[in-house]
Amino acid sequence: MRRVAIVGAGITKFMRRAQETGKELSYEASKMALDSCGLTLKDIDMVTLGTAPDAFDGVHMKGEWLSDGAGGWRKPYIRNYVGGGTGVFAPIHGFFHVASGMADSCLVVCEEKMSSCHPHPQGAFKTIFDHTLEQPLNPTLIWIFALEMNRYMHTYGLTKKDIALVSVKNKRNALDHPSAQIPENLTVEDVLNSETLAWPVNRLDISPASDGAAAVVLMSEEKARKITDRPVWISGVGWNIDTAYWATKELCYPRYVEKAARQAYEMAGIKEPHKEIQVAEPYDPFSYKELHHMEGLLLCKKGEAPKLLADGVTQRTGNLPICPSGGALGVGNPIAATGLMKIIEIFLQLRGEAGKRQVPGNPKVGLAQAWGDLMQVGTVVVMKS
Amino acid sequence: MKRVAIIGTGSTAHKAKTPDVSYRELIFGAATKAYADARITHKDVQSFVTCAEDFIEGYSIADEYTPDQLGAVLKPMQTIPGDFIQGLGVAYMMIQAGIFRIVAVEAHSKFSNIKTPDEVASFALDPVYNRPLNLNPHFVAGLEMNRYLHDSGNTATHCAAVVVKNRKNALKNPLAAYGAEINIKDVENSGEASWPLRKADVSNRADGCIVMVLADEDTAKSLSKKPVWIKGVSWCSDTPGLETREWGKAVYAELASKKAYEMAGIKNPAKEIDVVEVDDEYSYKELQHLEAMGFCEKGTAGKLILDGELSTNLSGGSLGMGHLLEASGAARTYEVVTQLRGDAGERQLKKAGFGLAQGWRGVPTTTGAVIILANS
Amino acid sequence: MGKEIRTKKWEGEIPVHYLYTYGLAGEKFFREIKDRGTFVATKCSKCNVTYVPPRIYCERCFAELGNYKDVGTKGTVETYTVCHESADGKKLSKPEIIAAVRLDGTDGGLVHRLSVADPSKVNIGMKVEAVFAEPAKRTGSINDILHFRPI
Amino acid sequence: MLDNAKIKGKGLKSSDIKDGSVLTQSCNPKLQYAWDTGQAVGQYLDGLKDGKLVGKKCNGCNRIMIPPRMFCELCFKETGDWVELKDTGTVNTFSICYVNWDASRLPPGAKPHLPAVVEIDGASEGMGILHVLGEVDPKEIKIGMKVKAVWKPANERTGAITDIKYFKPYGG
């Protein structure tokens, strides 16, 4: 198998409402990624775009509409899609492009413009539920998170307080991220006292709706060596989807994330992830999700993530820094772009280029993960310097 | 580089409506056939690709509803919001990357379940520059057809000949929904859609599903007596804007075919390729695509078809089989595979060694994909 | 196949609506239409491509584009069609002509209605110009252009 | 190192849009569907109309499944017999929700929505459906609580999941 490296990265600000169109956001992130490694569009063989529901941007077949902004002009350009897991799946897609030998270079772009959807982007989520058997109950997106969080708390005897610390940590980490939308210094009490939207979920347990884009450039080993002495390798990829009958499975544990992680670990030769992974960016659209995903990623035992959090292990200065970027909770959550933001964070951490966000100890192995669909999809990328 | 083959195919018979089955049941039927044809079970399939778009399915995240009916629960499965041939390209890359040995690709159409198909199609137009004009989406095809005929010298009569040929071909295809014996006058009298486009120039909608199983060389040889090898596959998107595109040209088909020919080592497609299935969602598209991909000189496709000298779309094409949304490219590929295996019954070509299938994603897109297949 | 189903269909919709910003380039373009009744373009000098509607980037080489220049309101018909069906697929009582207009000196243009006294006189290559709504009635929309007309 | 100065993005305030300092275009798309329910869901809905919950059994893995399906997604073969299930079950998880589907808030004092996953008696373990609870003080809801369907009167049932108004606490 050909080795594939990440050689460049770009990102926009994450914003509640961007003036830029989705095309323009895609361009700004892509251009920055190309500039960062001294390449131009001409150097790119193929392009893959990750973007989540058309219902956000409000354009049917939005991959087609976005193509010029994403650098797809007269190139083999394709869109990939696994719901909310797309942001970490997009570089996996780019990986196939290069590892297969079809391309020596691939531009990976992720975009989301949620603010076009009115009155609130959450409205677009009603129609993620089964049209015949669930939508007539008028579900809101938060239902599934509340149901899952409750089940998680019940199974492991956790309290809301145990979980609120995720928001505090991530929003604080985001103070150092230049793209961040809602970085903040909060206390656990602030989270617990924020409005209850759907018990046990409070307003500050939730990441915001956002507009933004991110991009990375992938290259074959041979080409990468020519333009950088610090490539970051994609050493393991995994993704997995569970049944659409989401209410028929145990919600307290994301078995699909474990499946995806095992696929990625096997490929990367990782035997003891809790010891070998030095920095991780699991997906944190809701506070408990970070913990849920740490467990699914086998970074700790089931039900043990809250303890690591409480003990400070997952702080930037801890033994296993989790979401040093500030995550979806702090940087913002333009769905697909968030996943790629996490890939970029690990890329920077492994290069020692994360600036104020840099975790100590010169990490050499890191991981990014996203989640999507109806509690169904896990996407995992293991990276090594 | 090792080779990749299609080792199993499954298709429903396409119909204007399929009221007896849900989309899940429709897909399950085609998947069952494909796995049986490949002599595998769902457990042998290591990864899955569905080609679908949210607003066609009527879901905000259609990807959620993809795994069960393919046997893909707790497997690596993805959605490609693209043509089925692009999905084949993704499966090809995953196998070539050495990650999987067996991958299944699916596309389907439940077109009959969309109550507002014109509004859904128009929702793909730019929201600021185009959509507020509040037009029927076929206007994009009308603009393109007019310029293409103007530039190429092909005529509306030639387009009608495509309709006559494809609907007649469909009479011999048991999977086709719209086989008919009609003549050029019938097309001319069918009524205006968006001049010069007439109603009969537009393919009718159909429901259906197609699943294919791909495998790496070793697996294909051990499982299949008639593997059909992927010799080349590519796809391309031209500028998406209505304002910037070259209206007379199918640049995407030209560039995608060029790459696919390079991969397959094809110098003269007209001579070297025996089975040709191209997108004909609108009649003129068949002519435009054949010329763009070098099957004849520019401006000659119409006459060659009128004179019966180009036997393309023996399946009946979308005009004869029905427009199957992202599965239209699948229907084209299905026919090529069937011909290359020698299983096409009364449609069977005597010489069928190399074949090409091409897909286009419909208005207002400028995206298309090409795959080149061979039986040896 | 199986027994007769009584509940054969389930109806539903995607109940969302949208408010789109015009983007950085689009904002400039429509402000000029609204305030001055003219079109502006951006140009990539490297690729020698002039974009109307303007873009902040060249789609071919990704150069950053600024420098909006007035390209006037005249152009030629690249292609046209006569729509006989409405947006929702019903027959129009009065068919309308839609043209793709290439604005002079640019590689872009607009797609819009074409108003002519005699439809049979329309042809590809015909010179046309934009007709705008009265300034007071303009809102900064593609419909501030009423139509194109022959020169 | 990412060049922070190069990070673009022009964020707007909601007032920029409301007061017209930034131009916008609105759109109310008509995205409407009539989905074929098919064999499995069609008969499930017919059952609801008749005041019954029906499931389907897989003869491969012996699961009794709700919602019913014509094929087992795990064994990937056609399912076997229809099975009439009870209209009682167990709360697997629940929430107390104060927002509507579009993120607008319930009016002050309005009763919160009480979504729950209910595992249906007679189906295989863990087979739950999404529904809502009623006739219960939100504070009293517990995971593991027994509940029973409260049906609409027969003449108001249409063959819909809402033919069950809600599930309410039941017995012990």
| Chain segment B164-184, per-residue pLDDT in tens | 999 999 999 999 999 999 999
Q: Which of C20, C51, C65, C79 to mutate to test the interface with B (most CBs of B within 10 A)?
A: C79
Q: How confident is the model at residue A263 (pLDDT cuts 50, 70, 90)?
A: very high
The ipTM assigned to this model is 0.97
Q: Specify the pLDDT at position B108.
A: 98
Give me the pLDDT at residue A195, please. Answer: 96
Which H or E element spans position B370? strand B367-374
**Span A220-239, mean pLDDT?**
97
Chain C hits for D47, Cβ within 8 Å: none
CB distance D150 to D136 below 8 Å: no
Count contacts between B and C (CB, < 8 Å). 117
Q: Residue C13's CB: how many other CB atoms inside 10 A?
A: 16
For every residue of B186-219, DSSP letters joined together read HHHTS-EEEETEEGGGBPPB-EEEEEEEEEEHHH
Q: Burial, C48: exposed, middle or buried (Cβ in 10 Å; 0-12, 13-18, 19+)?
A: exposed
Q: What percent of chain A has pLDDT over 90?
A: 97
Q: Which of D41, D92, D97 sits opposite A140 (nearest CB)?
A: D97
pLDDT, position B341: 98
pLDDT of residue B145: 98
Residue A90 contacts residue A49 (beta carbons within 8 Å) = yes
Query: In the prediction, which pLDDT does C1 show?
Result: 47
Residue C2: its pLDDT value, please?
58
What pLDDT does residue B312 have? 97
Beta bridge partners of B367: B237
User: Does residue C78 contact residue C102 with C-beta atoms inside 8 Å?
Assistant: yes
- Would the CB atoms of C13 and D32 count as touching at under 8 Å? yes
How far apart CA A24 and CA A21 sit, in angstroms, is 5
Share of chain C above pLDDT 70, in %: 99
d(CA A298, CA A285): 19
Residue in chain D closest to C34 (alpha carbons) equals: D23
> pLDDT of A20-37, one tens digit each?
999 999 999 999 999 999
Contact partners for chain C, using 3 or more CB pairs closer than 8 A, are A, B, D
Give the model's confidence band at B71: pLDDT under 50 very low, under 70 low, under 90 confident, else very high: very high
Q: What is the C-alpha to C-alpha distance for residues B185 and B161, in angstroms, rounded to an integer?
A: 10
Chain D residues touching B19 at Cβ < 8 A: 36
CA distance D94 to A149: 10
Give the pLDDT of residue D172. 56
Query: Which of these, B309, A332, B150, lies nearest to C77 by C-alpha position?
Result: B150
pTM of the model: 0.98
Q: Which residues in chain D land under pLDDT 70?
A: 172
Q: Helix A255-268 crosses helix A287-296 at what angle (to 10 degrees)?
A: 50
Strand locations in chain A (E): 4-11, 46-50, 77-80, 105-113, 117-118, 196-199, 201-202, 211-220, 232-241, 279-281, 365-372, 377-384
> Per-residue pLDDT for B48 more than 70?
yes
Q: What is the pLDDT of residues B282-336, one digit of tens each?
A: 999 999 999 999 999 999 999 999 999 999 999 999 999 999 999 999 999 999 9
Query: In chain D, what residues touch A16 (CB-CB under 8 Å)?
Result: 11
Answer for the pair B132, C113: CB distance below 8 angstroms, yes or no. Answer: no
| Position B200 pLDDT exceeds 60 | yes
Locate the chain A residue with the closest alpha carbon to B46.
A240
To the nearest whole Å, the CA of B42 is away from the closest chain D CA by: 7
| pLDDT at residue D102 in the model | 85
A139 touches chain C (CB under 8 A): no
Tens-digit pLDDT profile for residues A91-123: 999 999 999 999 999 999 999 999 999 888 888
Q: Are D58 and D71 in contact (CB under 8 A)?
A: no
B42 touches chain D (CB under 8 A): yes
The answer for residues whose C-beta is within 8 angstroms of residue A173's C-beta and 6 or more apart is: A183, A316, A323, A324, A325, A326, A327, A330, A357
Task: List the one residue out of D34, D132, D33 whose CA is nearest residue D91.
Answer: D132
Count other C-beta atoms under 10 Å from residue B276's C-beta.
26
Chain A residues with CB under 8 Å of C10 CB are 131-132
Q: Which of D25, D28, D31, D56 is the best residue to mutate to test the B interface, defined by the most B CB atoms within 10 Å of its own CB?
A: D31
Q: Whole-angstrom Cα distance, residue A157 to residue A159?
A: 7
Q: Does B133 touch chain C (CB under 8 A)?
A: yes
pLDDT at A124: 85
Chain D residues whose beta carbon lies within 8 Å of the beta carbon of residue C88: 30
Q: Which residue from B minimizes the CA distance to C113?
A: B133
At A158-179, the pLDDT tens digits run 999 999 999 999 999 999 999 9
Q: B332, B322 in Cβ contact below 8 A?
A: no
Residue range B362-373: mean pLDDT, rounded: 98
Q: What is the mean pLDDT of residues C107-125?
A: 94
Per-residue H/E/C for A106-122: EEEEEEEEHHHEECCHH
Taking residues A298-313, report their average pLDDT: 98
Distances (CA, A) of C64 to A26, B186, B372, C26, C56: 13, 52, 38, 15, 6
pLDDT at C105 over 80: yes
Predicted confidence at residue C140, as pLDDT, reads 96
C51, C112, C124: residue with CB nearest B133: C112
Could you tell me the CA-to-CA distances from D73 to B139, D13, D76, D79 in Å, in that order? 43, 47, 5, 10
Average pLDDT, chain A: 97
Query: In chain B, what residues touch C85 (CB-CB under 8 Å)?
Result: 118, 136, 138, 193-194
Q: Is the Cβ of D34 closer than 8 Å to some Cβ of chain B?
A: yes
Contact C23 A123 (CB under 8 A): no
Residues from chain C that touch D24, judged by Cβ atoms under 8 A, are 19-22
Contacts of B58 in chain D (CB under 8 A): 31, 33, 35
pLDDT of residue C3: 72
Across the interface, of B20, B136, B147, the residue whose CB is closest to C85 is: B136
The distance in angstroms from the start CA to the end CA of chain C is 65
Rounded CA gap, A27 and A22, in Å? Answer: 9
How far away is chain C from the Cα of A34, in angstroms, using its nearest Cα?
A: 10
Q: In terms of Cα–Cα distance, which of A233, A297, A235 is closest to A268?
A: A235
Which pair of tokens denotes residue C111?
């797609």
